Amino acid sequence: MEGGMTPKRPTGAGAFPATVEPSGTTRPDPAALYAALDLGTNSCRMLVAQPKGSQFHVVDSFSKSVQLGLGLEATGRLSRTSMGRTIQALRICQDKLRKHSVARMRLVATEACRRASNAQSFIEGVRRETGLSIEVIEPEEEARLAVVSCAPLVSVRTEQLLVVDIGGGSTELVWIDLTSVPRRDRPRAIMRLHKGFRPAEGSPFPAARVVDWISVPLGVATLREQFDDVKNDAARFALMSWYFEENLASFSPYAKEQKREGFQIIGTSGTVTTVAASHLGLRRYDRNRVDGLRMTSDQIDAVIRDYLTLGPEGRRTDPRIGRDRHTLIMSGSAILQALLRVWPTDRLSVADRGLREGLLYAQMSADGVLEDSRD
């Protein structure tokens, strides 16, 4: 990738380093690097990774709170200041892509760029300033990729799965029925959803059935902005949680009398991982301890009550929450609390993974460079 040039996003086996088979055909180079960039309402995140077995090994990463959607609720536009902050972050991403000579990548934007009236001019400005081509994806693809990222955390005993991705500008929920899939194949069936929520005609593999999905245009940043004028901390939290629950009225496939043994909720977001880190008492974040942790609803409620007791100033100085998260943790907690009211469950699986990981899995699976993706 030459400096100043828009990186091409190649497709197909011959679009990046390949190995020539004895038959004369080519296959993707398993040592090639892939990149995934997620430009959300609040954060800009990127991973550079290499396929490794059925997973991938992260070579480099980047994460920064850019607050791209700050003020969007009021104006319907991305502000000049927010766009400037974001372009500075994207320049760092461009440097990393050039440094690692990444040829295979997907760079995507989500809710803020879907909603802003000046999003197209912003994306054109990004291309001029950084050489990066950002693609705005639809809510269904965002939801699908979040689900794919969680495949390694799906239990073989899971029959009904709810994946919740709490973002900055929107929250995606996907309900999946796995009862027709053999137990040992359930995580792999989730991975296959990168091809779409509707199974391909004539597929020989048992399919995960997507019962329902929804993208609620409320995330930690947009929900907070909706109630920014409410000064009382506890009242603001209660109103946010109630308002989010109201927006879930059209999505309720779960029957409360349904047995819980085969029911799994996976939560993926900064909110969920922060709540988990607080529960563990981590003063320094440790992904290995958080990713895959199972928390009870009582444990989650205890952490949220603690956040409320701390108040805004206490949360600002709490090392478990972090400087980039303290202003948004209560709106995220309000969403999480509403979800657990609607779908009471004994356990929630914590996923420190999301759109970036889903983008990587989807690219690598499509290219056949993961051990379990060649089917």
pLDDT at 162: 93
Are the CB atoms for 35 and 29 separated by under 8 Å?
A: no
pLDDT at 30: 64
Taking only the tens place, the pLDDT of each residue in 2-24 is 333 343 333 333 333 444 444 44
Same fold, 13-137 and 141-355: yes
Could you tell me what percent of the chain has a pLDDT over 70?
87
What values do phi and psi take at 70, rounded to 5? Answer: -60, 125
Structure tokens at 97: 């892509």
Q: How far apart are CA 158 and CA 178, in angstroms?
A: 7
Q: Which residues contact 190 (CB under 8 A, 6 or more apart)?
A: 147, 148, 150, 151, 154, 161, 176, 178, 208
Are the CB atoms for 219 and 211 separated by under 8 Å?
A: no
pLDDT at 24: 46
- Which CATH code is given to the segment(s) 141-355? 3.30.420.150
Question: Is domain 13-137 annotated with CATH 1.10.760.10?
Answer: no
**Could you give the count of Cα atoms lying within 13 Å of 359 in the half-sphere of its Cβ?**
25
Q: Taking CA 155 as the corner, what is the angle to CA 47 and CA 143, rounded to the nearest 5 degrees?
A: 45
Q: What is the largest CA-CA distance in the chain?
A: 70
pLDDT at 229: 92
Checking if the pLDDT of 231 tops 80, the result is yes
Q: How far apart are CA 105 and CA 124, in angstroms?
A: 18
**Distances from the Cα of 49 to the Cα of 31, 107, 138, angstroms:** 10, 14, 24
pLDDT at 255: 52
What values do phi and psi take at 188, rounded to 5? Answer: -70, -35
pLDDT at 54: 79
Are the CB atoms for 42 and 111 separated by under 8 Å?
A: no
Taking only the tens place, the pLDDT of each residue in 171-216 is 999 999 999 999 999 988 898 888 888 766 656 677 889 989 999 9
For residues 258-274, give the mean pLDDT: 84
Q: Is 76 left (phi over 0), alpha (psi -120 to 50) or beta?
A: left
Of 320, 268, 319, which Cα lies nearest the Cα of 291?
A: 268
Taking only the tens place, the pLDDT of each residue in 282-312 is 988 899 999 999 999 999 999 999 999 999 9
Mean pLDDT of the chain: 86
pTM given for the model: 0.83
Taking only the tens place, the pLDDT of each residue in 46-105 is 999 999 887 899 999 999 999 999 999 889 999 999 999 999 999 999 999 999 999 899
pLDDT at 322: 80
Residue with token string 């048992």: 206
Give the confidence band of 347 by pLDDT, cuts at 50, 70, 90.
Answer: confident
Q: Give residue limits of the domains in the chain.
A: 13-137, 141-355
Burial label, 313 (beta-carbon count in 10 A; 0-12, 13-18, 19+) = exposed
For residues 124-132, give the mean pLDDT: 96
